[in-house]
Each structure stands twice: as C-alpha cells, then as structure tokens.
Structure 1
Amino acid sequence: MQKKVYNENPLEVAKQFEASGIIRLHLVDLDGARAGRIINWKVLENIAAKTTLAIDFGGGIKTEKDIEIIFDSGAVIATIGSIAIKQAELFYQWLQKYGGEKILLGADVKDEKMVIHGWTEQTETDIFDFLQENINQGLKQAFCTDVSKDGLLQGPSLGLYKKIIEKFPDLYFIASGGVSSLNDLVQLKEIGCKGVIVGKAIYEGKIKIKDLQI
C-alpha cells in the first residue's frame, strides 16, 4: 500500500490545529501499530509539551507499561483497539484500573463485524455485542471506524452510527471514517454523535478548519 505524507512535522500540524481552536487531538502511532509496540512516544511528548491540546493516543499499546508510557508522555486518554478483542480480560482490567474516562475503545468494523490487526483480519464478533460487553465492564467512550468507508471521502456510515447511538444512548460515541464535508459533520451531530474524527478531509482541503466554527 502506498503511503501519503501530508506533513513531515507532526508538531507543526498540531500547532496549526491548536491555533484554529481545536482542543482535542487524536494521535495514532502507525509505526507502533505495525510493530506491536509504542514507537513514536517522543512525538506525543513533544506535542503535549508544546501545545495545550488534549491528546488521545493509540497504536502499539499492548501492555500496562505502554499505557503508563503514554500517560507519562502527556496523553490524557489511551486508545485501545485489537487488545480489547484478543485479550478481553486484560482490557477489562485496564478499564477498572484507569476508569472509563481514561480509556477510549477504537472499534474497526465491516458489515457490523469487528475487524482487527490493521483491518487485515475480520472476526465474527458483532459490534453491538462487543460494545455491550465492554459497557458492562465500565466502558464510557468509543469510536467506530467503518473500514469500508475510511479514507474514501464518500461519506460516513450514518445508518450504523445511528443504530449504535440508539442502542447505547449513554455511551460517548465518536464517529470515524468517510467524512468528506461540513454537511457530513452536521448530519453526524444530528444523529447524536458526541464527536467526529476528521483527518484526510482536512489534509485534502475538503474541510477548512476555519469553517468548523469551534
């Protein structure tokens, strides 16, 4: 897969977001996700030290030590993905130790089934059952990425997200994937999303930060 680099300096991008009124940054260690261990914690540390952004950080978090590293490096929330499926009991322990406010569950989905390991492995785990099990263990916030939509700029999975929000009204739910316009953001807000992860649409100029009226 060909990668596209939009900016070689993550701190510069973070400062641009901060200057525009953004207060929350979703930061993913793609190298760490591939390697199965945190690699870019220094980037996190640098952004946390030089901006006021509230950062949730994910990618490569496999152990409790990893969580401690990212919190010590300035993240306010740890984003957890595959571990929550592959080692559910461990994830439950983290929820109980750190609390639902400090853990953000990242759920990658295709056809309402969970997908793991960088979208390479589809499971038979139903997204609704998965969320219910974790809510029972203290989960308070989650984002869901429809992998069939992500990066295509063809619009988000409104139907899926609406079903999740209706079924779990107390969950702080964040949409991810497919966002390509301000209208998408309006629609996501209307169905009850508490937040939206926007990346490519900003980098490709489809959405101007100044138009977000933050």
Structure 2
Amino acid sequence: MRIIPAIDIIEGKCVRLSKGDYDTKKIYNENPLEVAQEFEAHGIEYLHLVDLDGAKSKHVVNHKILEQIASKTQLKIDFGGGLKSDEDLRIAFDSGATQITGGSIAVKDRETFLSWIAKYGAGKIILGADAKDEKIAISGWEEESGISLVPFIKEFQKQGIEYVICTDISKDGMLQGPAFDLYKNILEKTKKWETRITGSGVEDEEVLGIHLIASGGISDYSELGKLADLGCEGTIIGKAIYENKISLKQLENYILEYGSQ
C-alpha cells in the first residue's frame, strides 16, 4: 500500500481543516516546500497536494507551489482543487503534477472529465469521490450533490477510471479512525472477474478492480495494516502526521518493510 502524505494549501501555507470546514483552518507551516522535502527525506515517494483556494475559487490558484515542490523534490504529486477546465489541467501538468484529482468536475461537467481520461489516460486522472453519509460532496465539500457514492464510482469505473480517492468527510481531520466499513463496501462492489487463457491454455480468473486510496480519519499507525488488508492501494495521511500521532520515522519503516509500490 502506498503511503501518501497530504499538504493542503491556503494562501500559500500548509494547513489542515476539520471535516472540510474552512473556519477550522490551522496553519502548520508557512513553507510547504519544507514539509515536502522532509517527507522525501524519510523515504516517501508520493504527495497529495490540495489547492484549497482553488477548490473555493473554482480554478487553479496555487500552481506555483506545485511547480516549486515538483522542481525541488522527486515526489510523485497528485494535485487537486479547482480543476475545472482544460486550461486548469494544462497548468497542473505543466507545473509538475504526476496525476490530477477531479471531484466536482466529474459531477458538474462529466463530458469534460471523460475527455481528460481519453486525452491523458486513466493512469493520470484520479476520481475524487468524497462523501458525506455516502452521498457525493463537491465544491470543496461545501455542496452536497445527492448522488450515491458507490454507483457514482461504478459508473466511472465503466468509463475506464482506475484510481479513486475516497474521503469520508465526517472522518476528515478528526483523528478518530478511517471509514473501514465504507472502504470494504466500495472494494467489494467494484470487483470484477476477468477470465483469461494462460500460455498453457488453462483458463484463469483474475480479479480486477479500482485502485482505492483511503483518505480521512487516520489517527494511529496500526490502522495502516488494516487498510492494506482491506485492499486499499494507497492511503492519504494528513493531520495524524502534523499532530505527531504517526511519525515520519514510522512511515519510513513501513515503506522499508512493505515497499511503496
């Protein structure tokens, strides 16, 4: 399971929110690059970078920070927040994003989102499926769509989506544990079986499914093993790092023991 620390940006600073509420903003570092470089120094290869100003403004705002981190580290960055147009996407990739995450756009402008998958490939586009009471939430979580979570994911799975980040908003930033049951349900309901013929002519069934990245609520190192056992392909860790509930040394040891691929 990949370990993916999060950096959320407001006004150029590294912050965290609770349940997506901008009024709960807490600044952890004035310099996000310092934070990213510390992650990299502990063997971390991936970063989840969220432009919270962009999510609110409905267009990319903090792309210069993305560019700075991408140019001064080797981290593979998935970038989200405010990606609404082809131009926003171009800016994100030109600024060094390895992948982008689209959430609101997948709800409000499905055709544009699908065109991104067609243009850039499913490996570059992550579906952001953030939910409250198993309903999709959009626009920086300030708006509920009324769309049911699992059917939403399955619909985009049919369209070729491979990577899904799912945040249970009620858990985010609360340090009360992830939504294990929710992730188990998603993984079970998005499994597909494909029969293939091996080189010796024997039929073999392969289980295919989405690469589910868990996000929100992680509070203890022991929870990483539980998420991996469920089948999560990655996990995003935010406040647990910043509040010293999980140390970077622990994450470094996890990566050394289990690998990050």
TM-score by length of 1: 0.97
Equivalent residue, structure 1, for 2:221: 182
Question: 1:120 Cα deviation (Å)?
Answer: 2.0
Aligned pair count?
214
Residue from 68, 79, 86 that aligns with 1:46: 68
The Cα of 1:118 is off from its aligned counterpart by 1.9
Aligned to 1:38, what secondary structure does the other structure show? Answer: coil
Contact 2:58 2:139 in 1 (8 A): no
Stretches of structure 2 lacking an aligned partner (at least 5 in a row): 1-22, 192-208, 256-261
1:113–1:125 CA contact under 8 A, matched in 2: yes
Name the residue aligned to 1:84.
106
- Higher mean Cα deviation, 120-129 or 133-142? 120-129
State the partner residue of 1:14. 36
Q: Which has the higher contact order (CA 8 A, sep 6+)?
A: 2
Which residue number corresponds to residue 31 of structure 1? 53
Q: 2:190 corresponds to which letter in structure 1?
A: F
Bigger radius of gyration among the two: 2
* Preserved contact between residue 116 and residue 123 of structure 1 (Cα < 8 Å): yes
Shift of 1:123: 2.1
Give aligned-pair identity as a percent: 55
The equivalent position to 2:146 in structure 1, one of 124, 127, 148, is 124
TM-score by length of 2: 0.80
- The Cα of 1:209 is off from its aligned counterpart by 1.2
1:198 corresponds in structure 2 to 237
Instruction: Please give the root-mean-square deviation of Cα atoms over the aligned residues, in Å.
Output: 0.9
Match of 2:197 in 1: none
**Secondary structure of residue in 2 paired with 1:25:** strand
Instruction: Kindly report structure 1 stretches of 4+ aligned residues shifted beyond 6 Å.
Output: none
Conservation of the 8 A alpha-carbon contact between 2:81 and 2:140:
no
SS of match in other structure, 2:29: coil
Q: Distance in 1 between matches of 2:140 and 2:81?
A: 10
The CA distance in 1 between the partners of 2:25 and 2:233, in whole Å, is 30
Of Structure 1 and Structure 2, the greater strand share is in: 2
Give the Å deviation of 1:88.
Answer: 1.1
Asked if structure 2 preserves the Cα contact closer than 8 Å seen for 1:25 and 1:55, the reply is: yes
Q: In structure 1, what is the Cα distance between the partners aligned to 2:142 and 2:62? A: 22
Distance 2:112 2:92 in 1: 18
Instruction: Kindly indicate whether the alpha-carbon contact (under 8 Å) linking 1:96 and 1:137 is maintained by their aligned counterparts in 2.
Output: no
1:57 to 73, 79, 82: 79
Contact 1:15 1:51 (C-alpha < 8 Å) held by counterparts = yes
Tell me how far 1:67 sits from its aligned partner: 0.7
Q: Which amino acid aligns with 1:177?
A: G
Shift of 1:185: 1.1
Residue in 1 that maps onto 2:8: none
